[in-house]
Structure 1
Amino acid sequence: MTVAHRESGKAVPAVGLVGGWSFPAEMFAPLVRRLPSVEVSAHDWKGFADTWLDDGVPVEVAGGTWLGWSLGGGLLLEAIARGNIRPDRLVLVSATPRFLAADGWPGAALGEWRALRRAALADARSAACGFRRHFGLPGCAVLPPGESDHVSGLDWLAAIDRRDLLETLDMPVEVWLAPDDPLIPSTWSEQLALPRTVIGRRLPKSGHAALFDAWDDLARALDPGAV
């Protein structure tokens, strides 16, 4: 099978990848290289949202494994809830069904989210760069231009709440979380009555940037013959 590394499209890949806020689809290049025998479709968050979450453009995609990191994981849950995609398998990496904190729910403080949103409205690229530096995320010097830093991604973060969906999914789900992640508390899964189809995994390093040290682990999870 050939390797596809594109930002959008409605074809059903063997593996679909959805990135986080301010990151282009190319963030997954190290993972794509580790999956030479798998057809892969990589998307930035906005390309995915515009294709699979636009109510004016109905899309139904079934099959494949979908992996979402950070905001990308929340967008995948939203697309599943809307009936727009139906994966055979779902992999959530440093992602949560609800980003903002609530009563009995660990998450980001509303005030912190509002501050980032104000900064993004004033200067999206500067806000995205500050966001990356604060959370130890790579690539500040090569921020993508334009829409990838758009404030609408932050609005998606605040709006998505699919805790109920995770408690009822009957497809295999892997939840990969890292200790000491200030954005995605590793304890959120303990607050839900998750079915046996949902399996918890631990990322090898701590913090929100743990994904970038876990390409080998994730490649093996997506294709046992990889790496």
Structure 2
Amino acid sequence: MAAPMASRQSPRGRVGLVAGWSYPAAVFEPLRRALADHAVSAFDWVSFAAGWLGEDVVRADEPEPSVWVGWSLGGVLLLEALRQGRIAPDRLVLVNATPRFLEAPGWPGVPEAEWRGLRRAAARHPMAAVAAFRRRFALPDVAGRDPALADVSGLDWLARLDLRAFLADVSTPVECWLAQDDPLVPADWPSHLALSPRVCCQRFTEPGHAPWFADPAALAARLSAG
């Protein structure tokens, strides 16, 4: 598993990025280039979970980001870290993420049967499961595949966490960036919650589960605006 990626310190605020299941921190290279005037630290989900959510904290020796950005599973883990008081950012940005991944009565999400199918496949043949997962959902196929990043514990985090109540009274500013035709995170989930006034929702113009990857300019501009 690769070490966290960090850019040189700059006068702009530090931004922390946390990737989704199966992805290395390198998935954020397009966004890092668009944030060239910021100090940026990028983490895969395993490194973040170990450093901020584990009992034996293994944290990088650098200032904590003032803005945390999490994509998919990365966003869910950031929200849980905020709930536990493990992070204290000025802003939290959730990209194609949801406070509850699995479907529930009155709640749009992934059916549990589909989640179990992916989990079984990942437990048997992690890299084959990752390849099929990316093809099925038109996700970026970046270099640097690591079996550790496809560990089923990441899928278990998605199934276990239900942070809907936390988003109802969160006091930290939270931005939710969603997209139409996202096959994993329904764009209308905010309409199913009474969200805290500190939560706002933005929409990508492009569809899918990773619209920021090919064109990160809109997200970078929003992060730079503060």
Q: Which residue identity lines up with residue 205 of structure 1 in the other structure?
A: E
1:22 is aligned to 22
2:207 is aligned to 206
Is residue 178 of structure 1 aligned with residue 175 of structure 2?
A: no
Number of equivalent positions: 217
2:9 is aligned to none
The 2-side partners of 1:198 and 1:93 are apart by: 13
Where has structure 1 moved over 2 Å in runs of 4 or more?
A: 55-59
Is residue 82 of structure 1 aligned with residue 84 of structure 2?
A: yes
Q: Which residue identity lines up with residue 31 of structure 1 in the other structure?
A: L
2:117 is aligned to 115
Deviation, 1:8, is 7.1
**Structure 1 residues not aligned, in runs of 5+:** none
CA contact 1:22–1:143 (8 Å) conserved in 2: no
The 2-side partners of 1:143 and 1:32 are apart by: 17
**Percent same amino acid at aligned positions?**
50
> In the TM superposition, what are the counterparts of 1:1-227 in structure 2 within 5 Å?
7=4, 14-57=14-57, 64-139=66-141, 142-224=143-225
- Give the secondary-structure state (helix, strand or coil) at the position aligned to 1:211: helix
Cα RMSD between the aligned structures?
A: 2.2
- State the Cα deviation string for residues 148-185 of structure 1 (Å, max 9, x = none): 11111111111111111111111221111001111000
- State the Cα deviation string for residues 174-206 of structure 1 (Å, max 9, x = none): 111001111000111011111222111001211
Cα separation, partners in 2 of 1:129 and 1:40, compared to 1, 3 Å:
same
Q: Which residue identity lines up with residue 54 of structure 1 in the other structure?
A: G
**Structure 2 residues not aligned, in runs of 5+:** 7-12
Q: Which residue identity lines up with residue 4 of structure 2 in the other structure?
A: E
CA contact 1:58–1:84 (8 Å) conserved in 2: no
TM-score, length-scaled by structure 1: 0.89
The 2-side partners of 1:49 and 1:171 are apart by: 20
- Give the secondary-structure state (helix, strand or coil) at the position aligned to 1:218: helix
The 1-side partners of 2:33 and 2:144 are apart by: 21
TM-score, length-scaled by structure 2: 0.89
